[in-house]
Amino acid sequence: MTSAPALPGWVEGAHTADGRTHPTYRRGSGPGVVVVHELPGITPEVLTFAEEVVDAGFTVVLPWLFGTPGAPGTVGEVLRVIPRVCVNSEFTKLAAGKTSPVAGWLRSLARELHQETGGPGVGVVGMCFTGGFALATMVDPAVAAPVVAQPSLPFPVGRRRRADLGLSPADLAAVKDRVAQGCSVLGVRYDGDLATGTRFETLQRELGDGFVRVDLRPTSRGDHATLTAHRSEEAVDRVLAFLGQRLKPA
């Protein structure tokens, strides 16, 4: 395992599951929330969002899956990281109807955080490349507040992949069962974002009223990252409110 660079104000750690170990960063107190970074990594914008979740009264754990923590999300950094991600077997990039192996690791991380922080469960926020991972984690009952932000896997090449949720049939059935039991899913994206394909339509069809859909009006061409680089205050507010409703019941 590569040692984690320091991030000011965050406590470094690590989590091991399924034979995989990834560094983590932790900060805050209160119910637990796992914030899974997007491409190209834990950028300053991802940290800003994560710190807002901390300030809202949550214990946030940031797993480090790829990239350089703290590095800006420049085009150069994206181009440096993408080849490494594309050959990483933890992430399913093109196969439809399949759950990425890293989902098992994230479920274990969520379980451990829930054991430590208590409450009705933990939140998991996935973004872009990792957006669908939040959905995959809710197979585990420890996850009570899954947030799917502009999910982009599998890569939206072809009609089938554009609609695919990045879940195996068994995991999709488990997700639908959790939703039937009252675990809602929040989804946020910019309207017309090609990277998300038609996944929100799939989620609406499969989960019905259990899918809380937020389609944002883009302010400029190419808006994609709802919580970070192309930040929408509405998106951030909706995510924080959802986490509060699900993890801090009256």
Q: Mind listing the pLDDT tens digit for each residue in 68-100? A: 999 999 999 999 999 999 899 999 999 999 999
Q: What is the pLDDT of residue 2?
A: 61
Say whether pLDDT at 225 is over 90.
yes
Q: What is the pLDDT of residue 111?
A: 98
Q: Specify the pairing of strand 32-36 against strand 20-28.
A: unpaired
Q: pTM for the full model?
A: 0.97
Q: How confident is the model at residue 4 (pLDDT cuts 50, 70, 90)?
A: confident
Cα dist from 8 to 11, 12, 34, 70, whole Å: 8, 10, 18, 10
158: alpha, beta or left, given left = phi > 0 and alpha = psi -120 to 50?
left
Domains and CATH numbers, the chain: 11-247 (3.40.50.1820)
Q: Specify the pairing of strand 185-190 against strand 211-216.
A: parallel
Q: Sign (positive/negative) of CA torsion 103, 193, 172, 247?
A: positive
Cα dist from 224 to 98, 191, 215, whole Å: 24, 9, 11
Say whether pLDDT at 193 is over 70.
yes
Structure tokens at 109: 């991380």
Say whether pLDDT at 1 is over 90.
no
Separation of alpha carbons 31 and 116, rounded Å: 9
Average pLDDT rounded to a whole number, residues 35-58: 97
Q: How many Cα atoms within 13 Å fall on the side-chain side of residue 47? A: 18
Q: How confident is the model at residue 249 (pLDDT cuts 50, 70, 90)?
A: confident
Nearest to 46 by CA among 17, 22, 23, 68: 68
